Amino acid sequence: MSGMLSKKFVVAGRSVSRATSVNAGLLFGLFGMILMCYSFPVGPGSYANLRHLTIIIISSYIGWLPALICSVLLSISRVLFYGVAYASISASISLLIIGFCCCYISVLPWSRLRKVMVSNLISMGISFVTLSSNLRSVGRVMEFFPLQLGITLAAGLAVYYIAEYIQRSNELYAQLEHRATTDYLTNLNNLRQFHRHMDTEMARAERRGDSLSMLAIDIDHFKVINDTYGHPAGDAVLKQLARRLCNHSRSYDIVSRNGGEEFTILLPDCPLQQALRAGERIRAAVENDRFQLPLGIKVHLTVSVGVASYPENIQDADGNLLCQYADKALYAAKNSGRNKVCSADFHGEC
């Protein structure tokens, strides 16, 4: 259920933030509380259910911290739900012990299936000891425990396969979303994602009264590279240029490949003069660098840059209009000799 609620959230086998771990622990603790509502009595103050499976799953898929949080929540809720009594306290302590065991198993270099099955067996062993202590009769526990053990192991296996299915589905979903928003060659934003960012940043600039600038960047004489050295060489140049654009941009600038040899950079909270300096910094960095081709040949390149800003060049908060003026500035840079940075005004002049 949690996987279905967060299709973009793939965590198994990955390092997750502390906030994510805490939230996951709280969520699965809530699931465990829900499972308590389906308990069945096996003796005075003693109940059997599948609540420990939430600890097992969260420890196997995310790690020790959410498992610990989940076990603490279940331990506290066990006393709150059924009152302060010997059976409740012993069951609460057993949940904490299960949590610590699952935390330890979660860091072992085992497969998730092995972690789930071993954790389940250990948890049932701890539950058997707890029930025997509460009921003060091993024979009485054995009247129902074999059936509970079989159901629990089967449920754990079923939950594992369901979790694996959800995990793989979420991974595929994340891959498809990445491919839909990312340029396959450079790993920059593609044209569709560029327009999404443009709409978001333009709305934010209008709301806050900030500036928003755009750099339209085009490689000069790129066709010569493809014609002379082949398309693999052209692809290598595009990849290297993408890295250089990211390296010479601020961490929150938005770099995209809009198609072919055309790139754009959105500069939030950046007025026109500052954007011109940024464009010149990029132009100079490309001109002074050398690009490595697949055959070991190094070549020099230049780029032309067009700059447009809101509200200096356009007064309406219109992303399409900002793109048009950046393109006009780029054409002006091309027509005036290339390897230049030009700014747009209402006539598209440098």
Note if 177 is an active site residue: no
Torsion angle of alpha carbons 232, 238, 244, 249, nearest 10°? -160
Which residues, given as ranges, of the chain have pLDDT below 50? 4-5, 8-10, 346-349
- pLDDT at position 346 is 42
Q: Which of 143, 261, 280, 287 is catalytic?
A: 261
- pLDDT at position 8 is 47
- pLDDT at position 45 is 60
- pLDDT at position 198 is 97
- pLDDT at position 5 is 46
Q: What is the mean pLDDT of the chain?
A: 90
